[in-house]
Structure 1
């Protein structure tokens, strides 16, 4: 069965870096979720306005459908697709999984760290529309997967604290859990 692995978490956790490493490992397509935002969402975030749930649904639908299509593509030998997407709430993760249709399994890798570290990382980024003043709104609504949502408890998610960890070590931690 085709598999979509979505790497999520608030801005500054390393979603793009880790998702890129996962895509290299699996030799599969990688979708940068930020690139699928409609212009209205990008403009809103660039103005420092947090997105609402209503702003996110269409974007999440597009991401789920695009990732599922790439994972199921017969030309994709791995039958895996990797995507990055904040997916800050459980309801977003549930929506992503339901939006893709049949024939694809979703796995969610949720990256997180403490607030001050996120602020530092986002402040140091150049050329990204997500500015440090937006970190608080993401941090405030963040729901780290727990309980029956976790893979170890029969769910579809794993959570990874990225504090003081190098990307290669984060990748190893993820692969160890996903390969069980």
Structure 2
């Protein structure tokens, strides 16, 4: 193997995409921003809601907040997906509102990075009220904000404001991720 081959191989390892979890309360745009961000990063996207068992969807559709016991299998399924994408990269949406939920995801897939979509409650409520075909009712937004524990300073991730167009939000997220120190350094 030539020296240039070694340099190319080390560059490929350093540029290996991470798995990114797009998190936040309902209505912040996880399902909109996630695929856009995945496209920008050149990696696959997985919709976190697709990992919910039907019992969870039924509860939320009825306006009943999930309990931690409801969330563990869902988080484990997302963690399994993220683990399978280690070294390959990917983007998955997941509310990941509590530190313990993010810890569970990190335990399954060390090295995940979080993009916390944040914003004004009125803006988020308005967006929720106008979306079509989603099982999460606006009535559960208060429970989401009550549960939310923002990223800690020791957690790999960034907070991104959700005001503006999806393209503007995605651009902010991409720039913020680019500014993070590389965990492999």
TM over 0.5: yes
Provide the TM-score with structure 1 as the length reference. 0.85
* Partner of residue 40, structure 2: 25
* Partner of residue 160, structure 1: 160
Please list the CA deviations of residues 18-49 of structure 1 after superposition, one character each: whole Å capped at 9, or x if unmatched.
11111111222110000110011000000100
* Partner of residue 37, structure 1: 52
The number of aligned residues is: 164
Q: Distance in 2 between matches of 1:62 and 1:2?
A: 21
Q: Distance in 1 between matches of 2:128 and 2:56?
A: 18
Please list the CA deviations of residues 76-134 of structure 1 after superposition, one character each: whole Å capped at 9, or x if unmatched.
xxx2111000001111111101023xxx5210001011222221111111111001111
SS in 2 for 1:105: coil
**Any gaps of 5 or more consecutive residues in structure 2?**
1-15, 180-185
1:16 partnered with 2:31:
yes
Provide the TM-score with structure 2 as the length reference. 0.83
Greater percentage in strand = 1
Runs of 4+ in structure 1 over 3 Å off = none
